[in-house]
Amino acid sequence: MVGASHSSRMTDELDDTCLEVVDISVRGWRLSEKTVEEKVKELTEIVSQCDEKRTTVVYQLYDNVSFFAKKADGTRNLPEKGQDGKFHVDGRLEVATRDEAKRMVSTSIPLLRAGGQCRKLVLTPGSRYRYNPCCLTRGHCSNLKERNYGKWMEEKLSELKSTVRDYVRMRNIKRATVMELGQLIKTPAGQSEYLHEEEIWGDDPVHMTRTGYKLAAAGIESLVYEKRGEEKEAEEKSGQRPTKKPRLDPALNRPSWISGSVSEAVRMDQRGLMGPPPPYNKWRGSARPYGASGFGDAHYSMRGRGSGRGRGSDRGRGSERGRGAARGRGPYRGQGRPW
């Protein structure tokens, strides 16, 4: 388990009778180049002592750097810790943009790669300051009471998850699954979503109740066993798959009586020569070394420049049908002469 307070609280609820759990998360941890470098050393040492094929690394890295406080002057800052020990949102609450999400993932890449060939579960941020504000101070979480605030937060968190997932794939992180923290929690059958949310969220605007973390831990266990089963099934199928037959050259197995016969003869081209025909230029008016008529010498196309349809042709100026052409009685139909 690598991350901040959510990761640490889920560790307390994981079933350590079936899973060997190692927790290197720190409450209040924030993603930065310095903190990533420290965690890389810890994780590398742990991974070197375990079976990477059977190990799952759960990353919860982006929660504390994905929510911002936007003040009236337009400045955006991360929530600041007050004298009461809590983080406060002084202004409107905003979620990280696409570009900010890319920078977050880029900063965390060394830590993701430190997982080696282990199975990786990358958790993107869940809801925060959705049901309760940071405090009762006026102006803090000022958009909490706005219409469709909950729907807006869901859309922003879904967009954030998609950006993280696409960027993790683009950076070619092996055996990685990206999902939102809230997706680990499933509503029990027969229970309404309203009552379910009341059990999960208490007065804390950031952290869930113990019931919520129990359900999230159960979701992690279920996902680990599911991925392990899928990989085992894929290995069994690959072992049963028949090997491809080697590709043979049919000429090697050709009977001797065929050699030198008509079936092996090279087709003659229009010039009466053996081998492939010369390149054919399809541009109008260009010289063709060997035209459709089969003449060996280069000649001009009958439809290009200097052909029968250009200037001075039978249909152009000065022709028999042009200006001054005979158009009267007798052999000529005009008053003039063709010359």
Name residue 307's amino acid: S
**Does residue 291 share a domain with residue 148?**
no
- The reply to whether 36 and 171 lie within a common domain is yes
pLDDT at position 243:
65
CA-wise closest residue to 128 among 83, 97, 96: 96
Task: Supply 271's token pair.
Answer: 């010039």
Asked if 27 and 8 touch (Cβ cutoff 8 Å), the reply is yes
Which residue, of 222, 237, 252, is where some domain finishes? 237
Rounded to 5°, the CA angle 197-201-207 comes to 140
- Return the number of other C-beta atoms located less than 10 Å from residue 119's C-beta: 21
Residues 6+ apart with CB under 8 A from 272: none
In a domain, 91, yes or no: no
Closest Cα partner for 160 from 205, 202, 132, 126? 126
Number of domains the chain contains:
2
The pLDDT score that the predictor gives to residue 300 is: 44
Q: In terms of domains, do 201 and 296 share one?
A: no
Please, are residues 29 and 51 in contact by the beta-carbon 8 Å criterion?
no
Residue 183 is predicted with a pLDDT of 92
Q: Is residue 300 part of a domain?
A: yes
Low-confidence stretches of the chain (pLDDT beneath 50): 286-304, 306-308, 310, 313, 316-328, 332, 334, 339
Domain range for 197: 2-65+97-237
**pLDDT tens string 94-116:** 999 999 999 999 999 999 999 99
On whether both 104 and 216 belong to a single domain, the answer is yes
Co-location of 179 and 57 in the same domain:
yes
Domain finish residue from 212, 237, 262: 237
Q: Are residues 178 and 42 in the same domain?
A: yes
**151 and 282 belong to one structural domain:** no
DSSP string, 260-312: TSGGGPPPB-TTS-BSPPPP----TTS-BSS-TT--SS-B--TTSTTSTTSTT
The residue among 197, 185, 215, 206 whose CA lies nearest residue 13 is 215
User: Domain of 188: which CATH number?
Assistant: 3.40.50.1110
What predicted TM-score, i.e. pTM, was given to this entire model? 0.69
**Residue 6 is assigned to a structural domain of this protein:** yes
| Other C-beta atoms lying within 10 Å of the C-beta of residue 328 | 10
Residues 23, 113 share a domain: yes
